[in-house]
Structure 1
Amino acid sequence: MTTWDAATLQIVWQRLISVADEMAAVLLRTAFSSVVRESNDLACAVLTADGALLVEYGRSVPVFTGTVAGTVRAMLEHIGVENLQPGDVIATNDPWYGNTHLPDLTAAAPVFRDGRIVAYVASICHLSDIGGASEGAFAQDVYEEGFCLPPVKLVAAGVPNTLVRQILARNVRVPDQVLGDVDALVAANALGARRLRQMLDNDPTLDLREAAENICGATERAVRASIRRIPDGRYSADIDLDGFEEPKKIVVTVEVAGDEMVIDYAGTSAQSRYGINSASPTYGYTRYGLACLLAPDVPNNEGAQRPITIRVPEGSLLQPTKGAAVSANFPAHAIPAVLSRALLGPLPTRVAAAAGTPFWVVGIRGQAQDGPFASLLCFNGGQGASEGQDGHPTLSTPSNVSNTPVEVIESQVPVLVESKRIVRGSGGDGRWRGGEGQEVTIRSIHSEPLDVIFLTERIEHAAPGLAGGQDGRTGLLQIDGVDVADPKGRTALHPDSRILLRTPGGGGYGAA
């Protein structure tokens, strides 16, 4: 029996976090996709035997840590816990099993001890390719967006599922890269399971159920205490976005009563005909935004979710009907900003102005003599400012995806990065200035046209300032000096043609 004093709790908590961190190290070093290795588009977590989030890798993409537990629980319900055995790895990329979108694959493995499951480990990464028309926003249903894998066993009792691997490889453009990403997920989970078993072997008295109760309980108490400091009432705000076929709006009302909170998105725009809709990321970014506002110093886990109820209208941009296209779920990235706007009054030192972008994506693919290639390149805008702090330049918020380095871009696809600079003055003015965006010029050096997709935001609607701060500067996307008519679309980049992208600046905070 473990005595759960403060010191013991902290030691066990940090040891469990280190398991998730080691899993991420494996994933970062072995994944094939540059968006994982260079841009950190991944997550690793340890879950309880009931599938509740216990600890996570500290640099996980926030949306994943808000959704991974739901995805694992949905897979377990589909497959059946009774059908699991040591050495199994289950996986899905289905958005209607709680996954974010098709390019992200969630893989989980049970951790057995003395014949019973004592925990799960889970990893997520963005695959190099997932087939379909493209990863852009122009698909009009999920079937156009790529290969959808229902919950299956990727590995059964330590033996890879050859049929699943063959079907997946046949449906993607770069099968060796995709299967390499899949193997990286399996390896990360294997390391996590091994470390947990070693931890339990070293301390046979440790009960992970008790550890979870204490860890999640500590987080829940911290979140409830923070909510109690907010006066009871209703706090509302909205934020405008470029959308696709038309501008879109996110509306939120935060209801506070005692130590509980309800987040209601009634009034948000209807779902789009195109792939900018958000399903599970709505919940992930709501939980992340509230974690930043309520208890930012407490590691995230299931306890943070207990005092909070999230309501999203069916058929809206943030909760589309089943089968809708969801690949480019950029609107969900604005959720932390609209929560900040709503809670500016009671939490002025915690909120932040809107970021210029979560990140802009340029997807490039084509055919070379040695086979097909496909890569996703990420470019960040400016961070929003907050009380006491200017926004950082070219920093992705809220999704902590890093800029793709020039050397990696040029090694992955046949282009030349001719220039890259910070756009001075693009952040919103204010007592604290918004972060600045960047300008990048990319020229094709391929002998054939390249297939290019763009995912951008805030070309029409600037990142709004907060508390009297000014808006950031909008973004710009051009090919050969001409504005791209469809900045969330697909185009052919001809030999020697140039892309110029200028990411938006973040909003300023406070009147100057």
Structure 2
Amino acid sequence: MTTWDAATLQIWWQRLISVADEMAAVLLRTAFSSVVRESNDLACAVLTADGELLVEYGRSVPVFTGCVSGTVRAMVEHFGAENLRPGDVIATNDPWYGNTHLPDLTAATPVFRDGRIVAYVASICHLSDIGGASEGAFAQDVYEEGFCLPPVKLVDAGTPNQLVRQILARNVRVPGQVLGDVDALIAANALGERRVRAMLDSDPELDLGTAAEHICGVTERAVRESIRRIPDGRYAAEVDLDGFEEPKKIVVTVEVAGDSLVVDYEGTSPQSRFGINSAAPTYGYTRYGLACLLAPDVPNNEGAQRPITIRVPKGSLLNPDKRAAVSANFPAHAIPAVLSRALLEPLPDRVAAAAGTPFWVVGIRGTAADGSFASLLCFNGGQGASAGQDGHPTLSTPSNVSNTPVEVVESQVPVLVESKRIVRGSGGAGRWRGGDGQEITIRSVHPDPLDIIFLTERIEHAAPGLAGGQDGQVGLLQVDGVDVAEPKGRTALPPGSRILLRTPAGGGFGPA
């Protein structure tokens, strides 16, 4: 019987975290698409036999680890745990099974010991294409957005499911990249499964369920203690966003009672006709935003979620109906900022002003002599400032997707990056200044028009400052010197034409 003193708990906790970290290393080194390899749009995690989040890779995209447990539980319920076998890999990209949106694929593998499931390992990554409109916000229902894969077995008892692979390959523009990323997910999970089994074999007395109780219990107690220090009451805030067909608003009320709290989004704008709605990411970014405010130094797991209840009105921007398009769920990225605004009074040293963007996406697609190409390029705005710290320039917040390097941009698609610079002084003024945005000029060098998808935010509505800080500068999107009419839309870029992107800056904190 394992004795769970502080030292033992720390050892096993760190060993489990190292499993997730190793899984991510495999995924980063074997993925085909730049959005995974260069922009870090991925997550890896170890979950309990009940599908609860136990540990995560430290640089995981926060929304993924906020959603992964719900997705894995939904897939296991779909198949039935009794129908899973060693060597299985189950997967889905269906937003209504808890996945974030269609371009993200969640793959989970059961870990068996003595004939029973003792854990799951899971990996998520953003595929470079998923057919349909893919990344764009202009689709008007989920069926336009791309190929939706209900829970399936990617690998059945160690044998790859060739039918699923063929169907997936037929529905995407760059099947080699997409299947390469699928194989990277499978490889990451295979390593994670081996590492968990080896860890259990090294100590036959270790019970992973008991370890999970202790690990999640530490996190839960830390979160409850932090909530307890907030005076009971209601704390409210709202934030304005560009939207698509019209501006949108997120409204939040945080109700604190003892060592638990309720987050209620009543008053948030109705769902959009276009793909800017958010389903599962609403929950993921709420959990992440509160983790930053309540217990930022404690590794994230299911324990952090237990003291929190989340209420989202049906039919709203943050909880649309199941036909709604959800691929460009940028509004959900504003949730941590509006939670900071609501909890400014009780937590002034932990909150942060709004970021300019999580990231701007430019999707570039076309056809060359050797076949089709498709790539997603990411460019970040400025981080919001906080008490004691200026915001960092061009840092994705709350997502942690990295800027796509110039060399990768030019190697992936037929464009030339003519300039790339930080827009100095664009961050909101304040006692602590918001992070600056960046400006990039991209010119097409392709002989045919390129199919371009833009996904932007804060061109009309600046990132607001906090506690007396000023707003950051808004973004700018032009083609050949003319403002793009639909900055979440799609356009054909003629040969030789130029795109200019100026990402928005973060808000300042405190009076200047």
TM tier, shorter chain?
over 0.9
Structure 1 Cα separation of the partners of residues 82 and 453 of structure 2: 43
TM-score with structure 2 setting the length = 1.00
Cα displacement (A) at 1:179:
0.5
Q: What is residue 51 of structure 2 aligned with on the other side? A: 51
Aligned to 2:129: 129
**Correspondence list, 1:249-328, <5 A:** 249-328=249-328
3-state SS of the aligned residue for 2:23? helix
- Shift in Å, 1:201: 0.9
Give matches, 1:8-23, under 5 Å: 8-23=8-23
- Mapped to 2, the partners of 1:241 and 1:353 lie a distance apart of 15
> 2:114 matched to which residue of 1?
114
Instruction: Give distance in 2, aligned partners of 1:171 and 1:370.
Output: 19
Hey, what's the Cα distance between the residues in 2 that align with 1:124 and 1:422?
31
1:339 matched to 2:317? The reply is no
Matches within 5 A, 1:490-501: 490-501=490-501
Q: CA deviation at 1:205?
A: 1.1
What are the equivalent positions in structure 2 for 1:204-283 lying under 5 Å apart?
204-283=204-283
Which residue number corresponds to residue 182 of structure 2?
182
- Equivalent residue for 1:401? 401
Report the alpha carbon displacement of residue 128 of structure 1 after superposing the two structures with TM: 1.5
Answer yes or no: is 1:453 the counterpart of 2:453: yes
**% same residue:** 88
Distance 2:304 2:217 in 1: 9
- Matching of residue 392 in structure 1 with residue 389 in structure 2: no
Per-residue deviation, 1:107: 0.2
Q: Aligned partners of 2:220 and 2:457: how far apart in 1?
A: 35
**Counterpart for residue 24 of structure 2:** 24
Specify the code of the residue in structure 1 equivalent to 2:34.
S
Question: Match of 2:147?
Answer: 147
In structure 2, what is the Cα distance between the partners aligned to 1:196 and 1:22? 11
Alignment match, 1:375: 375
Does residue 164 in structure 1 map to residue 132 in structure 2? no
Distance 2:200 2:320 in 1: 43
Equivalence for 1:439: 439
Partner SS, residue 338 of structure 2: helix
Aligned pairs for 1:86-101 (under 5 A) are: 86-101=86-101
Q: Could you tell me how far apart the structure 1 residues matched to 2:102 and 2:413 are?
A: 23
1:420-454 per-position Cα deviation (integer Å, ceiling 9, x unaligned):
00001110000000000000000000000000000
- Tell me the CA shift for residue 134 of structure 1: 3.3
Q: Output the CA distance in 2 between the equivalents of 1:32 and 1:211.
A: 35
What does the per-residue CA deviation read over 1:73-121, in whole Å, with 9 as the maximum and x for residues that have no partner?
0001111111100000000000000000000000000000110100000
Question: Which amino acid in the other structure matches residue 87 of structure 1?
Answer: G
In 1, distance between residues paired with 2:133 and 2:304?
38
> Which region of structure 1 is more displaced relative to structure 2, 126-135 or 82-91?
126-135
CA contact under 8 A between 1:134 and 1:453: conserved in structure 2?
Answer: no
User: Does the Cα contact within 8 Å between 2:472 and 2:508 map onto a contact in 1?
Assistant: yes
Match in the other structure for 1:353: 353
Residue deviations 1:204-256, cap 9 Å, x none?
Answer: 11110010000000000000000000000000000000000000000000000
Distance 1:62 1:109 in 2: 21
1:477 and 2:474 matched? no
The answer to whether the 8 Å contact 2:103/2:134 transfers is no
Partner of 1:195 in structure 2? 195
Counterpart code for 1:340 = S
Contact 2:134/2:327 (<8 A) preserved? no
Give unmatched runs, 5+ long, in structure 2.
Answer: none
| Deviation (angstroms), 1:203 | 1.0
Deviation per CA, 1:128-174: give whole Å up to 9, x if none.
Answer: 21000231000000000000000010000000000000000000011
TM-aligned CA deviation for residue 24 of structure 1 = 0.2
Give the Cα–Cα distance (whole angstroms) in 1 for the partners of residues 133 and 406 of structure 2: 27
- Are 2:384 and 2:391, in contact at CA under 8 Å, matched by a contact in 1? yes
1:290-309 Cα shifts (integer Å, max 9, x gaps): 00000000000000000000
CA RMSD of aligned residues (A): 0.4
CA distance in 2, matches of 1:114, 1:476: 59
How many residue pairs were aligned?
512
CA distance in structure 2 between the partners assigned to 1:190 and 1:96 by the alignment: 26
Spell out structure 1 runs of 4+ moving beyond 3 A. none
* 1:255-291 C-alpha deviation (Å, 9 max, x unpaired): 0000000000000000000000000000000000000
User: Which whole-Å deviations, capped at 9, do the CAs of 1:378-434 have from their partners, x for residues lacking one?
Assistant: 000000000000000000000000000000000000000000000011100000000
Quote the Cα distance in structure 2 between the aligned partners of 1:75 and 1:476.
41
Q: Secondary structure at the match of 2:286?
A: helix
For residues 326 and 29 of structure 2, the distance between their equivalents in structure 1, rounded to whole angstroms, comes to 29
Unaligned runs of 5+ in 1: none
Q: Is the 2:359–2:396 contact (alpha carbons within 8 Å) kept by the matching residues of 1?
A: yes
Once residues 137 and 492 of structure 2 are traced to their aligned partners in structure 1, the CA distance between those partners, rounded to angstroms, is 16
